[in-house]
């Protein structure tokens, strides 16, 4: 079977599930790691050998020297960030420039994307989305709109691209000046800067779809890396408080260019509690001292923006929805160690609106806004579990917590992470 040996990693909540660690861990068992959605709005953390590395755009498999890393066509690429990230990690990720391929179909993020997003968020006031301000949404909007979009493959034709950039800047400046009363961009300066980036990334630009299809034919193993999480998916998430890409498993097919049936096993990642950054409904949010304690113990501050993350109880009602939507085969639970020492422990098993239990996770943001969590008490534990490597060695209450999650979600917990380092992992068959 074609999909055999391939694995997809997807977040089941609102991102920040520590997928970076899981991708790094499983990259050792795959030949290729492919990022299929989002851009440098993501923040993936990988830790080993006493060092911590933060990644935003390059796949989290870069630290394995024989792994090929692919940025798929579904990703939006800020060329400046790509080059900075390569330079920052090259010393620990040997031959990275030779092992990294960037899809010619991926769209580029330009200064006008960041500027328009900044102005739009500012002018929205209370109605803002709370984006990462990396230009992600405007770049995807241009992709859908087609007229002013630029794919990375166009960097291979600099003269064509120079003229196109001039045309686009002229058009965008009208909006900046006339609508927002802001100064426009200098097309020549933008081109000078980006032409240099284009030269530097040129050797990495490739038809990655053809590359991945050939890899499948050769029986190579592919790991698909989803960024953000299912509840931030443009179609299936808590719209409009979502990102602008397909952040569920559904994005892997268009975002990488391989057939859906090749995708293989799907592993859904959840934190042992739930967090969210930015605006939008979050039924299990703890706006009290307990929420602050989880934030402190879990160091819950955004990898990309540094914003404090909103923290709450594990929302298994939302996760069950995501798990079914993605068709997961197994679960990875991360940051289980963070729950140790909490005075109480609860999980959310359902929602009520006006006292009535909901049958399904709401498709309507207004209903989600009103939803009250149905909470179940579980026994807390006080022990530090960060040194545990076998499931049987976890405290009884921690084992019961994991088993309860499996029971509600209806999928086996395959991996448990008890700390940021690669080694701090419990594997279950
Ligand atoms: P954007 O992706 O920058 O457009 O932001 C849209 C929403 O998605 C905001 O609420 C962001 O905080 C959230 N978001 C985007 N990327 C991530 C991520 O990697 N982790 C968590 N939240 C994210």
Give residue-wise pLDDT tens across range 322-372: 999 999 999 999 999 999 999 999 999 999 999 999 999 999 889 999 999
Q: What is the DSSP string of 259-307?
A: -GGG--EEEEEEESSEEE-SSS--TTB--SHHHHHHHHHHT-B-TTT-P
Is the pTM value of this prediction over 0.85? yes
Same domain, 283 and 145: no
Same domain, 292 and 399: yes
> Measured in whole angstroms, how far is the alpha carbon of residue 124 from the centre of its chain?
25
Is position 44 annotated as part of the catalytic site?
Answer: yes
User: How remote is the CA of residue 395 from the centroid of ligand 1, in Å?
Assistant: 34
Please state the length of the chain: 429
**Cα–Cα nearest to 198, from 132, 142, 151:** 151
Last residue of a domain, one of 168, 201, 234: 201
For residue 44, the ligand 1 atom closest to its alpha carbon is 19
Q: Which contacts of 301-304 are long-range, i.e. CB under 8 A and separated by 24 or more positions?
A: 302/16, 302/43, 302/132, 302/277, 303/16, 303/43, 303/44, 303/45, 303/54, 303/56, 304/40, 304/41, 304/42, 304/43, 304/56, 304/132, 304/134
> For residue 176, is it within any domain?
yes
pLDDT of residue 1: 42
Q: How does pLDDT run across 198-255, given as a tens digit for each residue?
A: 999 999 999 999 999 999 999 999 999 999 999 999 999 999 999 999 999 999 999 9
CB 301 within 8 A of CB 269: no
Provide, for the chain, the percentages of residues in helix, strand and coil under a 3-state DSSP scheme, each rounded to the nearest 5. Answer: 40, 20, 40
Pocket of ligand 1 (CB under 6 A): 14-16, 41-43, 129-132, 134, 136-137, 227-228, 232, 241, 243-244, 277-278
> For residue 1, is it within any domain?
no
Distance CA 112, CA 326 (A): 34
Q: How does pLDDT run across 5-52, given as a tens digit for each residue?
A: 999 999 999 999 999 999 999 999 999 999 999 999 999 999 999 999
Catalytic one among 44, 56, 64, 113? 44
For residue 43, the ligand 1 atom closest to its alpha carbon is 19
Same domain, 388 and 316: yes
Q: For the packed helices 79-89 and 187-201, what is the interaxial angle rounded to 10 degrees?
A: 40
Domain count, the chain: 3
Is position 16 annotated as part of the catalytic site?
Answer: yes
Same domain, 120 and 134: yes
For residue 16, the ligand 1 atom closest to its alpha carbon is 20
The β-bridge relationship of strands 205-206 and 100-103 is parallel
Q: How does pLDDT run across 108-128, given as a tens digit for each residue?
A: 999 999 999 999 998 888 888
User: How remote is the CA of residue 118 from the centroid of ligand 1, in Å?
Assistant: 14
> For residue 2, is it within any domain?
no
Q: Of 17, 134, 240, 277, which is best to mutate to test ligand 1, by the most ligand atoms within 8 angstroms of its C-beta?
A: 277
Distance CA 220, CA 32 (A): 8
pLDDT of residue 123: 87
Question: For residue 117, what are the domain limits?
Answer: 107-201
pLDDT of residue 60: 95
pLDDT of residue 262: 94
Q: Take atom 11 of ligand 1 and give the residue whose Cα is closest.
A: 131
């Amino acid at each position: 079977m074609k999909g055999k040996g391939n694995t997809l990693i997807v977040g089941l909540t609102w991102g920040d599930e520590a997928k970076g660690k899981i991708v790094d861990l499983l990259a050792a068992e795959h030949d290729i790691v492919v990022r299929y959605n989002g851009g440098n709005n993501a923040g993936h953390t990988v830790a080993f050998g006493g060092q911590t590395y933060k990644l935003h755009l390059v796949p989290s498999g870069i630290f394995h020297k024989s792994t090929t890393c692919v940025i798929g066509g579904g990703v939006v690429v800020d060329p400046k960030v790509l080059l900075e990230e390569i330079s920052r990690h090259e010393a620990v990720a040997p031959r990275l420039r030779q092992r990294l391929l960037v899809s010619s179909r991926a769209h580029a993020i330009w200064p006008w994307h960041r500027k328009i997003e900044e102005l739009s968020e500012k002018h929205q006031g209370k109605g803002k989305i709370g984006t990462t301000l990396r230009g992600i949404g405007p770049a995807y909007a241009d992709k859908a709109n087609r007229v002013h979009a630029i794919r990375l493959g166009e960097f291979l034709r600099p003269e064509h691209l120079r003229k196109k950039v001039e045309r686009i800047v002229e058009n965008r400046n009208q909006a900046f000046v006339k609508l927002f009363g802001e100064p426009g961009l200098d097309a020549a300066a933008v081109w000078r800067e980006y032409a240099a980036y284009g030269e530097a990334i040129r050797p990495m630009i490739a038809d990655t779809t053809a590359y991945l299809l050939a890899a499948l034919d050769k029986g190579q193993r592919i790991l698909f890396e989803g960024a953000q999480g299912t509840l931030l998916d443009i179609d299936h998430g808590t719209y409009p408080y979502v990102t602008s890409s397909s952040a569920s498993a559904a994005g892997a097919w268009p975002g990488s260019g391989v057939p859906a049936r090749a995708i293989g096993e799907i592993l859904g990642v959840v934190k042992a509690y739930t967090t969210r950054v930015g605006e939008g409904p979050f039924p299990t949010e703890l706006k009290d001292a307990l929420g602050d304690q989880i934030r402190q113990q879990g160091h819950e501050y955004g990898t990309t923006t540094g914003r404090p993350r909103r923290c709450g109880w594990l929302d298994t009602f939302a996760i069950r929805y995501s798990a079914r939507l993605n068709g997961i085969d197994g679960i990875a639970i991360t940051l289980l160690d963070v729950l140790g020492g909490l005075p109480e422990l609860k999980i959310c098993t359902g929602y009520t609106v006006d006292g009535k239990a909901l049958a399904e996770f709401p498709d309507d943001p207004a209903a989600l806004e009103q939803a009250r969590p149905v909470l179940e008490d579980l026994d807390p534990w006080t022990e530090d579990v960060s040194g545990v490597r076998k499931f049987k060695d976890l405290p009884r209450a921690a084992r019961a917590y994991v088993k309860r999650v499996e029971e509600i979600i209806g999928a086996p917990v395959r991996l448990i992470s008890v700390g940021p380092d690669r080694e701090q992992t419990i594997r279950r068959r």
